[in-house]
A and B are shown apart, each in its own frame.
Chain A
Amino acid sequence: MAAVESSTISALEAAAAEAEETRSRNARRRWLKSLRGNRPAILSGIVLLTIVLLAVFAPWVAPHDPRFIDPSIRLQSPTSEHRFGTDDFGRDVLSRVIYGTRASLPIGIGVTILAAVIGSALGLISGYYNRLDSPIMRVMDGLMSFPSILLAIAIVAARGQSSQNVFVALTVVYVPIVARLVRGTTLVLRRQQYVESARSVGLRDHVILFRYIFMNSLSPLIVQCTFVIAFAIISEASLSFLGAGVPPETPSWGNMMRDGQKFIQSAWWMAMCPGIALFVTVLSLNLLGDGLRDALDPRARER
């Protein structure tokens, strides 16, 4: 090891990096080209971007304070003042749907990022170090043996109802999925020529793992992540229905649908408006994910 000269390493790195860059530039070009041809994916991207913008600019976009209570106008059907009607506390449903992006998106995205970070780390370690593979993967298998909703309600029930615990619960649910995926790609990549040579010249493991393996398993990971965001948003709604979601005064889409379903016959707008928002978001995430996957997989693209 000591015999390895630093110049060799840098030369190797430079070569690898160059190869990598050309590859990824080509890949990016291919991607974009393929994506451009996929109209549903483009449309979904635009819809999602709009939703993100709504979340960012909610205070400027929403016509009313989403938490302002006025029971004297409760359960009013849509009017020009309240375009999506009012709810059982007389709050403006449109404003709550808009602010709902601020509750539902961070849950979806936050859980996904957390699950992606933890899951990737576990997957990389598990795929790279033979000795650690089995213990880590058995734990992941164990966690995956619980139906996700069941594990999530049990965790929330045990730790108490709060946004934080919903976060923890959903993260625990999705970590194993990411870990499995990353482990799979790691197993393949670590036998690749450039990884072998990087190892032979004595590059540190964490450098190899991060620079050569993780960066190359990023694309399937991103695709998977769009699906995980969608699942997490849906799960938040189901948890709310079972009384184990984020605190009820938070205007999340799940909470609004849970409350609204009690009034589905007398005030349909209460559940339908957040329901449609959730539907459109999840649908878009899925279509975008499909589009990305097709773009990534050349074989799929040819179809």
Chain B
Amino acid sequence: MATYILQRVILLIPVMLVVGIVVFMLVHLVPGNPAAVLVGENATAEQIDAAKEKMGLNDPLPVQFFRWFGDAIRLDFGDSYFSNQSVTTTLSQRKEPTIFLTAYALIIEVMIGVPAGVIAAVKRNSIIDRTLMIISISGAAIPTFFMGILLILIFAVRLKWVPSGGFVSISEDPARHFKMMVLPAFTLGFASAGLLARLVRSSMLDVLNEDYVRTAMAKGLRFRTVVNKHALRNALIPAITVIGFSIGGLLGGAVVTETVFTIPGMGRLVVGSIARRDYPVIQGAIMLIASIYVLVNLFVDILYAYIDPRIRYGGG
């Protein structure tokens, strides 16, 4: 097991290097000049040149990259052009809403996706199965921003059950915290729940066709017991991988959801920073989100290997 974990961790190094190159290149693809942004609108050409020199933009690209990457892996992304605050500080202020939103959305995804998938598989080819699958696909067929607006109109404007947006910390006011998070979390979670439900359905069907399940049924065990005791557990193993992957989708979806529900998280930070050309923050935030995703998937892989030992020794 330890060897396996070590292997996985070593594999992270090239992946993170690729992530770093992409994030670095994103900014260096920009037609404008980061130095011009930094010194402001009324700057002279000399001021821009001085800033370029100071920012090291005149060095060869690889030199710039390794300097930047070297700092980045120590979580130093420089200072925001905009607030002059260090990017690390900015990110740490903004991570809380995104982490909570993603976590709640994940819970909703699992709470809807798994039961829907299991029920659909057990009642396969029935009306219930078809309806559940159409609803699952629908979740993914409505763009999140539109879903968000519709939910706000229904639950905040018409029914006035919850506020239209915003964020308070759970420690500050737990009741309000949950009220504020329920719509965005549902908006975000519902879309992924559909995909999860479809996956759980098909892996559940695989398992229900396995010999040992058939044997158990033949032995006269109650269907419900068979499903709960044998099938569900095995069907959920592949689902874990999908849940891991879907965290990436949730983190990305948070960009949209945070904008609709005015949640001051990292997603909105990225969108806002793009609008104000705040390159260090863009780089830092995307790097951080990608790293979270990579680490979560590392964890999922390890968990998966722990549950299903075949993986550790299998190829690929």
Consider the complex of A and B and state whether they touch directly, i.e. have CB atoms less than 8 Å apart: yes
Binding site for B on A (CB under 8 A): 40, 134-135, 138-139, 141-151, 153-155, 157-160, 184, 187, 230, 234, 237-238, 241-244, 254, 257-258, 261, 264-265, 271, 275, 278-279, 282-283, 286-287, 290, 299-300, 303
- Give the docked Cα–Cα distance between A143 and B23 (Å): 10
Known: A150-B270, A153-B270, A154-B282. A145 touches B290 (CB 8 A): yes
Instruction: Give residues 161-202 of B contacting A (CB, 8 Å).
Output: 198, 202
Interface size, chain B (Cβ < 8 Å): 59
23 contacts between A and B (CB under 8 A): A142-B16, A142-B21, A143-B22, A144-B248, A146-B19, A146-B290, A147-B250, A148-B248, A148-B252, A150-B251, A150-B252, A150-B267, A150-B286, A155-B26, A187-B315, A230-B140, A238-B256, A241-B143, A242-B255, A244-B274, A278-B141, A282-B140, A283-B134
Contact across chains for A241 and B141 when beta carbons are under 8 A apart:
no
Binding site for A on B (CB under 8 A): 11, 14-19, 21-22, 26-27, 29-31, 124-125, 130, 133-134, 137-138, 140-146, 149-150, 153, 198, 202, 205-206, 209, 248-253, 255-256, 259, 267, 270-271, 274-275, 282, 286, 289-291, 293-294, 315-316
Known: A138-B18, A283-B134. A238 touches B145 (CB 8 A): yes
Contact across chains for B140 and A286 when beta carbons are under 8 A apart:
yes
Contact across chains for A142 and B289 when beta carbons are under 8 A apart:
no
Residues from chain B with a CB closer than 8 A to the CB of A243 are: 275
Given A40-B130, A282-B140, output 6 extra A-B contacts at Cβ < 8 Å. A148-B252, A150-B252, A238-B145, A258-B145, A279-B138, A290-B133
Residues from chain B with a CB closer than 8 A to the CB of A230 are: 140-141
Contact across chains for A264 and B249 when beta carbons are under 8 A apart:
no
Residues from chain B with a CB closer than 8 A to the CB of A142 are: 14-19, 21-22
Chain B residue, CB-CB nearest to A275: B146
- Give the docked Cα–Cα distance between A301 and B31 (Å): 52
Contact across chains for A147 and B29 when beta carbons are under 8 A apart:
no
Residues from chain B with a CB closer than 8 A to the CB of A139 are: 18
Would you give the shortest CB distance from A174 to chain B, in whole angstroms?
13
Would you give the shortest CB distance from A242 to chain B, in whole angstroms?
6
Chain B residue, CB-CB nearest to A156: B274
Would you give the shortest CB distance from A208 to chain B, in whole angstroms?
21
Known: A153-B270, A265-B153. A147 touches B146 (CB 8 A): no
Residues from chain B with a CB closer than 8 A to the CB of A138 are: 11, 14-15, 18
Contact across chains for B146 and A271 when beta carbons are under 8 A apart:
yes
- Give the docked Cα–Cα distance between A40 and B127 (Å): 13
Residues from chain A with a CB closer than 8 A to the CB of B144 are: 238
Known: A160-B31, A282-B140, A300-B205. A147 touches B145 (CB 8 A): no
- Give the docked Cα–Cα distance between A278 and B19 (Å): 32
Residues from chain A with a CB closer than 8 A to the CB of B149 are: 261, 264
Residues from chain B with a CB closer than 8 A to the CB of A241 are: 143, 145, 256, 259
Contact across chains for A154 and B26 when beta carbons are under 8 A apart:
yes
Chain A residue, CB-CB nearest to B144: A238
- Give the docked Cα–Cα distance between A187 and B315 (Å): 10
Would you give the shortest CB distance from A291 to chain B, in whole angstroms?
11
Chain B residue, CB-CB nearest to A134: B14
- Give the docked Cα–Cα distance between A184 and B315 (Å): 11
Contact across chains for A147 and B289 when beta carbons are under 8 A apart:
yes
- Give the docked Cα–Cα distance between A157 and B276 (Å): 11
- Give the docked Cα–Cα distance between A230 and B205 (Å): 25
Known: A241-B143, A264-B149, A283-B138. A141 touches B255 (CB 8 A): no
Residues from chain A with a CB closer than 8 A to the CB of B18 are: 138-139, 141-143, 145
Contact across chains for B202 and A286 when beta carbons are under 8 A apart:
no
Contact across chains for B293 and A145 when beta carbons are under 8 A apart:
yes
Contact across chains for B141 and A283 when beta carbons are under 8 A apart:
yes
Contact across chains for A146 and B22 when beta carbons are under 8 A apart:
yes
Contact across chains for A234 and B140 when beta carbons are under 8 A apart:
yes
- Give the docked Cα–Cα distance between A261 and B138 (Å): 19
Query: CB within 8 A of B142: which of A184, A275, A287?
Result: A275
- Give the docked Cα–Cα distance between A241 and B138 (Å): 19
Contact across chains for B249 and A148 when beta carbons are under 8 A apart:
yes
Would you give the shortest CB distance from A22 to chain B, in whole angstroms?
28
Query: CB within 8 A of B141: which of A141, A155, A279, A299?
Result: A279
- Give the docked Cα–Cα distance between A225 and B274 (Å): 31
Query: CB within 8 A of A261: which of B16, B146, B286?
Result: B146
Contact across chains for A257 and B146 when beta carbons are under 8 A apart:
yes
Q: Which of B198, B282, B286 has the most CB of A within 10 A?
A: B286
Chain B residue, CB-CB nearest to A260: B146
- Give the docked Cα–Cα distance between A135 and B14 (Å): 8
